[in-house]
C-alpha cells in the first residue's frame, strides 16, 4: 500500500530509540524526510545516519530536550513548514501517590502535555495554510485504563488527550488530522526500566517481573516497536484523512474494555 506521503517532511520528537525511532523509520520507509530529536547526540547521529543510508531520505537532527522551552524553540525553528509532527518524550517515573509533589507534576506536565501542545501551537498554522497536515501524539494505554504506579503519566496524558479532543475538531476543516497513538507494553528500554523497578521493589527477579506482567496481556507478549511505527505511518498517511481526535490503542488486548 502506498501511503501517499513520499516527499513530505516530518518532525519526530524523542526518536533516537524505542517507539519514536520506530515511527521515524516507518515514515522514512515511505519516503518522508525527517527531523529527528533526542537529548543524547550520539545515538541520534547513529540512528539518523542509518536511516539516511537505508531509506535515502534527508534527515536533520536536533539534539535537545523537547520538554524544555529552549529545546522547543530550537525544534520549532528547524521544523517550520513540516507536514507531519510526531510528539513524543520520555515517560515519568513510577511511584506511589504519596511520592508526588507539585514539582513532580510540573515536570510531568511539561514533558507529556505542555511540550506537545507547544509544538502543535507552533507548527499547526503552516499545516493549515497548506491545507494538509498530520499530528500523532504518542501517549499511553494509561489514558484508557490507569496504571496506578504511573500516576504522573496518567495525569499529564489525560490533559493532552482533552486538548487534542477539542483542537483536532478545530483544525480538521483545514485538512489537518490530529490523533493519539496509545502504546501498551512494547519491547523498548522504557519497559525494561519498569520491569527492573518492579523487580527491585518486589524482591523477584527481572525475568519473573516480566513474565508476570506479560501474562496479563491477552497476546502473551510485548508489542513490537516496528508494528507501532507502521501504525504511526498509517495515521500520517493520505488514508487517515477521515480520522480526527481518535485514541488508537495498540496493547495486545490489555485494556479490558468493550469500546
Q: Which three cell numbers stand for residue 254?
A: 490489555
Of residues 148 and 169, the one with the C-beta less far from ligand NAP: 148
**40 neighbors 63 (Cβ within 8 angstroms):** yes
Span from 11-19, 128-136, 208-216, 239-247 in contact with ligand NAP (CB under 6 A): 11-19
Among 18, 116, 133, 229, binds ligand NAP (CB under 6 A): 18
**221 neighbors 155 (Cβ within 8 angstroms):** no
User: Mask 70-109, x = binds ligand NAP (CB under 6 A)?
Assistant: ------------------xxxx------------------
Of residues 72 and 171, the one with the C-beta less far from ligand NAP: 72
Q: Under the criterion CB under 6 A, does residue 7 sit at the interface with ligand NAP? A: no
Among 160, 186, 195, 231, binds ligand NAP (CB under 6 A): 186
CA distance 103 to 212: 32
Q: Which three cell numbers stand for residue 168?
A: 483536532
Q: Under the criterion CB under 6 A, does residue 231 sit at the interface with ligand NAP? A: no
Of residues 175 and 197, the one with the C-beta less far from ligand NAP: 197
Q: Phi, psi (5° rounding) for residue 17?
A: -150, 170
Of residues 88 and 168, the one with the C-beta less far from ligand NAP: 88
| Closest to 236 (Cα-Cα) out of 29, 15, 54, 14 | 29
Beta strands 9-12 and 33-38: pairing type? Answer: parallel
Q: Under the criterion CB under 6 A, does residue 155 sit at the interface with ligand NAP? A: no
Q: Under the criterion CB under 6 A, does residue 57 sit at the interface with ligand NAP? A: no
Among 10, 11, 12, 14, binds ligand NAP (CB under 6 A): 14
Query: Crossing angle, helix 115-130 and helix 69-79, to 10 degrees?
Result: 20
CA distance 161 to 152: 14
Q: Which three cell numbers stand for residue 110?
A: 511539561
Which residues would be at the binding site for ligand NAP (CB under 6 A)?
A: 14, 16-20, 37-40, 43, 65-67, 88-91, 138, 140, 183, 185-186, 188-191
Amino acid at each position: 500500500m502506498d501511503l501517499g506521503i513520499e516527499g513530505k517532511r516530518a518532525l519526530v520528537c524523542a526518536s533516537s530509540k524505542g517507539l519514536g525511532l520506530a515511527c521515524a523509520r516507518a515514515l522514512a520507509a515511505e519516503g518522508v524526510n525527517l527531523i529527528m530529536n533526542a537529548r543524547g547526540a550520539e545515538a541520534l547521529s547513529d540512528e539518523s545516519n542509518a536511516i539516511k543510508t537505508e531509506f535515502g531520505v534527508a534527515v536533520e537532527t536536533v539534539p535537545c530536550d523537547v520538554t524544555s522551552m529552549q529545546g522547543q524553540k530550537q525544534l520549532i525553528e528547524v521544523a517550520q513548514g513540516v507536514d507531519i509532527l510526531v510528539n513524543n518524550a520520555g515517560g515519568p517515573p513510577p511511584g506511589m501517590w504519596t511520592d508526588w509533589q507539585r514539582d513532580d507534576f510540573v515536570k510531568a506536565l511539561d514533558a507529556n502535555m505542555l511540550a506537545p501542545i507547544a509544538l502543535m501551537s507552533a507548527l499547526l498554522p503552516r499545516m493549515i495554510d497548506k491545507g494538509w497536515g498530520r499530528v500523532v501524539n504518542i501517549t499511553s494505554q494509561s489514558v484508557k485504563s490507569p496504571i496506578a504506579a504511573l500516576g504522573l503519566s496518567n495525569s499529564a496524558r489525560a490533559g493532552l488527550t482533552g486538548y487534542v479532543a477539542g483542537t483536532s475538531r478545530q483544525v480538521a476543516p483545514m485538512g489537518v488530522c490530529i490523533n493519539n497513538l496509545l502504546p501498551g507494553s512494547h519491547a523498548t528500554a522504557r519497559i525494561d526500566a519498569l520491569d527492573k523497578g518492579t523487580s527491585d521493589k518486589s524482591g523477584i527477579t527481572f525475568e519473573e517481573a516480566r513474565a508476570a506482567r506479560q501474562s496479563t496481556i491477552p497476546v502473551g507478549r510485548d508489542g513490537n516497536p516496528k508494528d507501532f511505527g507502521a501504525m504511526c505511518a498509517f495515521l500520517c498517511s493520505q488514508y487517515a484523512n477521515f480520522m480526527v481526535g481518535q485514541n488508537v490503542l495498540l496493547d495486545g488486548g490489555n485494556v479490558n474494555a468493550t469500546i
